[in-house]
Amino acid sequence: MSSLTSRRQLLLSSLTPLAAAAPGAPKPNVVVILADDLGYADLGFNGCRDFDTPNIDALARSGVRFENGYVTHPYCSPSRAGILTGRYQQRFGHEANPGFLPDDDTAGTPTDEVFLSTVLKRSGYRTAAIGKWHLGDAPRFLPQQRGFDEFFGFSGGGFNYYGLPNPRQPRHRIVRNGAPVPLDQISYLTDDFSTEAVSFIQRNRANPFFLYLAYNAVHAPNQAPRKYLERTQHIEYGARSVYAAQTAAMDDGVGRVMRALSTNGLRQDTLVFFLSDNGGRRDVADNRPLRGHKGVVYDGGVRVPFLLSWPARLRAGITYPHPVSALDIFPTSMAAAGAAASNGKPLDGVDLLPHLTGSNSYPPHDTLYWRVIGGQGYAVRNGRYKLVKRAAAGRTELFDLAADPNERRDLALQKPEIVAELQRLYGRWNAQLIPPRWKDAHPANVEKEYEEVTDARKRALPPPR
Name the residues annotated as catalytic.
Answer: 76, 134
Give the distance, in angstroms, between the CA of residue 363 and the centroid of all CA atoms in the same chain.
20
Please state, in angstroms and rounded to a whole number, the distance separating the CA atoms of residues 114 and 357: 28
Please state, in angstroms and rounded to a whole number, the distance separating the CA atoms of residues 72 and 52: 28
User: If you write DSSP's letter for every residue of 360-395 in order, what string do you get?
Assistant: --S-S-SEEEEEEGGGTEEEEEETTEEEEEETTTTE
Please state, in angstroms and rounded to a whole number, the distance separating the CA atoms of residues 252 and 370: 33
User: What is the residue type of 390?
Assistant: R
User: If you write DSSP's letter for every residue of 233-272 in order, what string do you get?
Assistant: TT-SSHHHHHHHHHHHHHHHHHHHHHHHHHHTT-STTEEE
Give helix 54-61 / helix 238-263 axis angle, nearest 10°.
Answer: 50
What b/e string do you get for 387-397 counting C-beta neighbours within 10 Å, with b at 16 or more?
A: bbbbbeeeebb
Surface-to-core class of residue 261, CB atoms within 10 Å of its CB (0-12 exposed, 13-18 middle, 19+ buried) = buried
* Sign of torsion over alpha carbons 43, 5, 326, 461: positive
Say how many Å lie between the first and final Cα of the chain, rounded: 27
Q: If residue 122 lies in a helix (H) or strand (E), which one and from where to where?
A: helix 116-122
Please state, in angstroms and rounded to a whole number, the distance separating the CA atoms of residues 112 and 327: 18
Cβ contact 117:127 at 8 Å = yes
Cβ contact 141:156 at 8 Å = no
**Beta strands 318-320 and 64-66, pairing class:** parallel
Cβ contact 277:34 at 8 Å = yes
Please state, in angstroms and rounded to a whole number, the distance separating the CA atoms of residues 370 and 90: 9
Cβ contact 455:463 at 8 Å = no
- Residues near 417 by Cβ (< 8 Å), separated by ≥ 6? none
* Nearest CA-CA partner of 299 in 394, 407, 372: 407
